[in-house]
């Protein structure tokens, strides 16, 4: 089970259990999820959430989460976010940034290993990219998840908030695992955009197929 934290106005909900999962498949899929989460800040009673997410395209991570609300809690507003609690607007552009050069990555925020245990969403985003890369969400087992080792995580954002709490950002993740040779380092680029007006979170990401940085158009030429 993929774990994740949800932030609502200063709270920090962490997934405890999955109650119901429905999937509507018509090319790109829609997912309707009911889950239980616990606030790790207040340690209050568990809350039941209803979540809706839609794939916008096939073949790579391009998902819009349009609903994430506490069941029975009333209408969802733009203050609800899956992490960071921020804003943003508009759709994610089709092209993703290239992997930054060594010089460029020096200006980005590098996540310290001590920060990783409290940033479950980083690993989740990586898992989502790999789930789609391997062709089926169900094919990405706990064994594969446990083999992942984050080597470096850098965050690029224009927000004035701390990078780990950014409203919208680009994640550059280098990791090991899943390859025939476990020492092989692979890279993903993931862009997130939270829309404060609609309360939706858009995610787009790819696994880089070559050491040479690629944009999304180059990526699809491989297939």
Q: Which residue's entry shows tokens 């790109």?
A: 28
Q: Which pLDDT tens digit goes with each residue over 12-58?
A: 777 888 899 888 877 778 889 999 988 877 778 898 999 898 988 88
Position 138 scores a pLDDT of 54
The span from the CA of 202 to the CA of 17, in Å, is: 24
Q: How many helices (H) and strands (E) does the chain have?
A: 4, 11
Full-model pTM? 0.74
Quote the CA–CA distance of 157 and 108 in Å, as a whole number. 8
pLDDT reading at 191 higher than 90: yes
**Which of 3-7, 116-120, 189-193 is predicted least confidently?**
3-7
Q: Is the dihedral of CA 66, 28, 15, 91 positive or negative?
A: negative
The predicted structure's pLDDT at residue 174: 94
Other beta carbons within 10 Å of 113: 9
DSSP 117: G
Q: How many domains does the chain have?
A: 1
Q: Which residues contact 104 (CB under 8 A, 6 or more apart)?
A: none
Residue 92: pLDDT above 80? no
| pLDDT exceeds cutoff 50 at 83 | no
Residue 215 has pLDDT above 60, yes or no: no
For residue 44, give its domain range: 5-220
Give the containing element (helix H, strand E) for 122. Answer: helix 120-133
């Amino acid at each position: 089970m993929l774990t994740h934290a949800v932030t609502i106005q200063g709270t920090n909900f962490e997934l405890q259990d999955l109650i119901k999962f429905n999937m509507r498949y018509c090319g790109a899929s829609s997912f309707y999820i009911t889950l239980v989460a616990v606030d790790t800040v207040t340690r209050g009673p568990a809350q039941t959430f209803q979540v809706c997410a839609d794939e916008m395209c096939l073949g790579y991570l391009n998902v819009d989460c349009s609903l994430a609300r506490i069941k029975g809690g009333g209408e969802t507003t733009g203050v609800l976010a899956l992490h960071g609690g921020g804003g943003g607007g508009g759709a994610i552009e089709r092209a993703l940034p290239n992997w930054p050069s060594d010089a460029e990555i020096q200006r980005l925020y590098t996540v310290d290993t001590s920060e990783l245990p409290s940033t479950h969403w980083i690993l989740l985003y990586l898992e989502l990219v790999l789930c789609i890369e391997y062709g089926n969400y169900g094919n990405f087992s706990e064994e594969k998840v446990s083999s992942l080792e984050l080597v470096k995580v850098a965050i690029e954002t224009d927000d004035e908030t701390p990078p780990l709490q950014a409203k919208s950002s680009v994640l550059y993740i280098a990791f090991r695992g899943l390859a025939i040779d476990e020492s092989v380092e692979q890279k993903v680029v993931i862009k997130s955009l939270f829309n404060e007006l609609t309360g939706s979170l858009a995610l787009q990401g790819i696994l880089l197929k070559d050491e040479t940085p690629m944009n999304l158009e180059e990526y699809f030429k491989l297939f």
